[in-house]
Structure 1
Amino acid sequence: MLPENVFRSSALEPTDRFGMWRDFMAETHAPMDLRSEHAAEFWVNHRNISLGEVTVYPLECFPLTFRRTPKLISKSDPEAFHLSLVKRGTGMLRLGKETLVHGAFDYHTSDTSRSFELSSGPEPLEIIGVEIPKAILPMPRHAAAQVIGRRLSARTGIGSLLATFLTQIAKESHTYQAGDGPRLSTVLADLMASLFAGALDADRSLTPETHRRTSLLRIKSFIRNNSDSSELDVAAVAAAHHISVSYLHRLFQQEGEGTTVAGFLLEQRLTRARRDLADPLRQDVPVHVIAARRGFSHAAAFSRAFKNAYGMPPTAFRRQFIPPTGAPCATRPPASGESTAASQPAVGE
């Protein structure tokens, strides 16, 4: 799994919690002056997930204020950008003479080389933060610096794609191998650079490699969201993104994973159809209806593709999940990515 440092206040005496968490922050992030009206009874859940040089940190805590002062900057500056996805609560950022309020599904940003003050609202705060060295963000520093302090939305476009990616890492960090960290950090850096470039309306500031990878992430997300349409094919995917079919094929070829556009689309449809066939609550739905709902125009073509992928016809696969006569009906199995444990907590590629 990915390396993690975890701080949970519930394991400590109330009077020790804030001070020990402040020490934890000083050791793992840029030094900050932390204050809270709830210091005597502080509550915090904080995880630092290491992706190599990049850190993702899901954080829930009582209201507080973060201050990065000139004195602290002169003492230590890791030369990093911070970006935080606000999941719950509000925050007021003071950056020089500017003041900006962030709410749920906004991003707030900061620069370890610039003074700022960030105060959360009266309710508990929940964020997924990112600390990334300026040197590895694939865009010019002066361009990225112009975005710091702006309100960036996580509801649409690249912002939404980045939010899905961060949420997936935070939720499923235990499912990744340590060696996945550098690859995940590359994707994260590309998405952050694209978000920043979009805010500047300056895609030209991205490197060609970053632009290509971000385009591919966007296209794959589109295919996942629209694979149930039988009208979706390679040409339709290219048209929806205003690119040629040949360039679309080239994007997938350059990924180096041996996946074609048509193959990726087929995989999405088969995965969803397979899930439906394994669902006891859908056992009365004919196979050809499930195939049509998942974007297959012809039942025979679906059966051939399913057998090639899973080694048996769809009808034989389904029989494995039909309960014996008189047995109580099983509950629906979780969809891919869902948790089976009620205690577990909310993208891409």
Structure 2
Amino acid sequence: MTARSLLPTAISSDHADDFHAETRALDLDVVQMSVLRFPPMRSRRTQELIRRSDPETCQLALNPCGIMGISQLGRDMILRPSELIALDSSHAFDSHIAADNGTGAGVTILQVPRALLPLAETDLREMMVRPLPGRSGVGMLLTQMIGRVLADTSQFRSADGPRVGAVLLELLSALLANELDDRQPAGPAHRLTLLSQAKAFIHQHLGDADLSPGMIAAAHHISTRHLHRLFNDTGATIAGWIRRHRLEQCHRDLIDPRRRTRPIHVIAARWGFTNPAHFSRTFRAAYGMSPSEHRHNAQRSR
């Protein structure tokens, strides 16, 4: 049953004579979720089983019932409730779950194709069998969403499945990317490339009032902390960089003859300033005059 829904593994248990297990499987197109409950047991994925069948997936294990020990790629880890860990189907692993109350055990598995994760193979391998946060940040959002979906699937329509799966995939991608950023600071060339990409993204979305560090970081699959570091290394802040370029666009539009009849607050809103009073103060602080004075001076000069 687990070979069909998850991976072919060799399973053994001291409870073989009275073994009772159950599973719930939910297919969300790009993502598969499985909830498994069983007596304490051991599960091994060997090289022979990998050669026989490898779906090339990443498995995220969470919310174990009991204590789950996992070994893969020379790393060992103990998974406890509210903790997360990722496994790679293309590498052998050995796992065992012992019940912490002397009765049942189990685990929830989120399975996605590795090719859909926006990480290089070497980077993805680095994140396998590493502790991943499930109580804060993106990890908390991911675990909460998984819990809500599994709690009551009747609240969703069949058409919601692929959409929910896409959201879960994005959250898992962001979680792994954030952890990779924190573990492996990028080299100078990579940081410069990321900074250029982030600035280009900001230029494309200057008019979006919701533009924020979180939005920019998510678009590039990096943490907001990493994004702030990229700008801080150049002596700038993200908010300051966005504000300066929005003001420059407003400055140009206010003296453009083609826009001389357009209200100032409309021009400001076009570039992300939704509060006219705040825009006027910010403009005066930057240019020493109000937006209307700047427009008037330009018209008089012409």
Q: TM-score range by the shorter chain?
A: 0.5 to 0.7
Match of 2:110 in 1: 130
Tell me by how many angstroms 1:87 deviates. Answer: 4.1
TM-score after normalising by structure 1: 0.51
Partner of 1:189: 169
Q: Quick one: which of 72, 76, 89 aligns to 2:53?
A: 76
Q: Distance in 1 between matches of 2:165 and 2:239?
A: 27
Superposition RMSD in Å? 3.3
Give per-residue Cα distances to partners, 1:306-338, cap 9 Å, x unaligned.
xxxxxxxxxxxxxxxxxxxxxxxxxxxxxxxxx
Deviations 1:101-131 (A, max 9, x none): 1111111221110000011123332322111
Counterparts of 1:147-226 in structure 2, within 5 Å, are: 147-201=127-181, 212=215
Structure 1, unmatched stretches of 5+, are 1-23, 217-241, 248-261, 263-349
Name the counterpart of 1:319: none
Letter in 2 for 1:176: F
The aligned counterpart of 1:145 is 125
Instruction: Tell me, in whole angstroms, the C-alpha distance in 2 between the residues paired with 1:142 and 1:70.
Output: 20
Q: How many residues align?
A: 202
Distance 2:37 2:119 in 1: 30
2:80 counterpart residue number: 103
Partner in structure 1 of residue 41 of structure 2: 64
Q: Secondary structure at the match of 1:130?
A: strand
Structure 1 segment 160-309 matched on structure 2, within 5 A: 160-201=140-181, 212=215
Shift of 1:53: 2.8
The amino acid that maps onto 1:177 is R
Q: 1:179 to 1:212 in 2, by over 3 A?
A: farther
For 2:54, what is the secondary structure of its paired residue? Answer: coil
Using the TM superposition, give the Cα deviation of residue 243 of structure 1 relative to its aligned residue in structure 2, in angstroms. Answer: 5.5
Residue pair 2:65, 2:99 contacting (<8 A) in 1 also:
no
Q: Give the TM-score normalised by structure 2.
A: 0.59
Which blocks of at least 5 consecutive residues in structure 2 are unaligned? 202-213, 220-237, 244-273, 275-302
1:39 aligns with 2:16: yes
Pair member with larger Rg: 2
Identity percentage of aligned residues: 25
Alpha-carbon distance in structure 2 between the residues aligned to 1:55 and 1:213: 28
CA, structure 1 residues 103+165, in 2 after alignment: closer, same or farther (shift >3 Å)? same
Are the equivalent residues in 1 in contact too, given 2:30–2:166 (CA < 8 A)?
Answer: no
Match of 2:282 in 1: none
SS of residue in 2 equivalent to 1:201: helix
Instruction: State the partner residue of 1:120.
Output: 97
Tell me, what secondary structure is at the counterpart of 2:152? helix
